[in-house]
Structure 1
């Protein structure tokens, strides 16, 4: 455990808390967190996770724009469920990315946890894209990823990071509950402002 892991713990916890609260500042904090985790994961031999952080930087810019300007009226997206087609596409993307990353890791690196590194990377990548669109189902992808990350990081001796993902797991459950409530509140407000048909 060193200062990098401690700083990653702090920024990671703050970032997820801000996401749960739907605060757009999560993207700036998340980008700082990504930089710290690149350093940490390369040192631990978690190459796919390190590469994932680079992709996260790009997705953070995309998500930031979506949350601020990406809605139907250019005022930002609101929490909602993805369509069934979009959800199937996301699950398919996880399977394809996992297979491709596992092959790359087994072929070109000395990774000792290629399969687990690949599946958590794929889940996290797709979940981050879903979060950028404020799709409520993104929380389920994060929950599955966290349930794998916790023992994976413990296995690699990253105890504080493993503990962070226990915290993330709790925040993901809270996020799922809060975003569902926000969706219901939005639907209720929309229903009361729509004109009643004659």
Structure 2
């Protein structure tokens, strides 16, 4: 456990809480947290997760701009409803990304859990994309992914991070409750 990991956990929890509240400040807080966690995961040899944090940084920049363009007068974002084909395509892309990334990790790195690391990374990217697109279903996917991450981080000795991700599950449940699409969706 390090001070960087604790700070990353606190900023990450704050970012998710702010996102569940549909607050624009979630984006700069998310950017700081992702930067810290890219370092933490590199140190833990979770290379896919380190790369994921870099992808999150790119999504943060995109999401911040996207949400700013779609903000309501009260500053909150409009939640959208994806179609079933959109959801299915996303899940299939996650599976394909998992397979490719698992192959790369198993072949070219010393990642001790390449399939798990790759799968959680691929579906985290999908969940982040759904968040950027303002789909309520992002929270359901985060519940599944973050629950699995708790086990992974416990196995790697990242106890504050495992606790953080257990908290993310609770925050995601609340986010799903709060993000109700408007009828015009």
TM > 0.5 between the two? Answer: yes
Residue 33 of structure 1 aligns with which residue? Answer: 33
Unpaired runs of 5+ in structure 1? Answer: 191-198
Q: Does the aligned pair in 1 maintain the 2:22–2:76 contact within 8 Å?
A: no
The equivalent residue for 2:24 is 24
Structure with max Cα Rg: 1
Q: SS at 2:22's partner residue?
A: coil
Would the aligned equivalents of 1:94 and 1:119 in 2 still touch at CA under 8 Å? yes
TM-score, length of structure 1 as denominator length? 0.88
CA distance in 2, matches of 1:96, 1:24: 32
Quick one: higher RCO (CA 8 Å, sep 6+), 1 or 2?
A: 2
Task: Give 5+ residue unaligned stretches, structure 2.
Answer: none
Q: 2:29, 2:12 → 1: CA distance? A: 8
Residue 168 of structure 2: aligned partner: 168
Runs of 4+ in 1 over 4 A off after TM superposition: none
Say yes or no: does 1:90 pair with 2:90.
yes
Alpha carbons 1:34, 1:56 under 8 Å: kept: yes
User: In structure 2, what is the equivalent of residue 195 of structure 1?
Assistant: none
8 Å Cα contact 1:41-1:47 kept in structure 2: yes
SS at match of 1:78: coil
Deviation (angstroms), 1:70: 4.6
In 2, Cα distance between the equivalents of 1:81 and 1:113? 34
Instruction: Confirm or deny: 8 A CA contact 1:77 1:133 kept in the other structure.
Output: no
Query: CA–CA distance in 1 between the matches of 2:51 and 2:98?
Result: 14
Q: Which residue of 2 aligns with 1:11?
A: 11
Offset at residue 144 of structure 1 (A): 0.9
Question: Superposed, which structure 2 residues align to 1:19-168 within 5 Å?
Answer: 19-70=19-70, 78-168=78-168
Q: CA RMSD in A?
A: 1.5
Question: C-alpha displacement at 1:76, in angstroms?
Answer: 8.4
| TM-score normalised to structure 2 length | 0.94
Asked if the contact 1:68–1:76 (Cα under 8 Å) also holds between the matched residues in 2, the reply is no
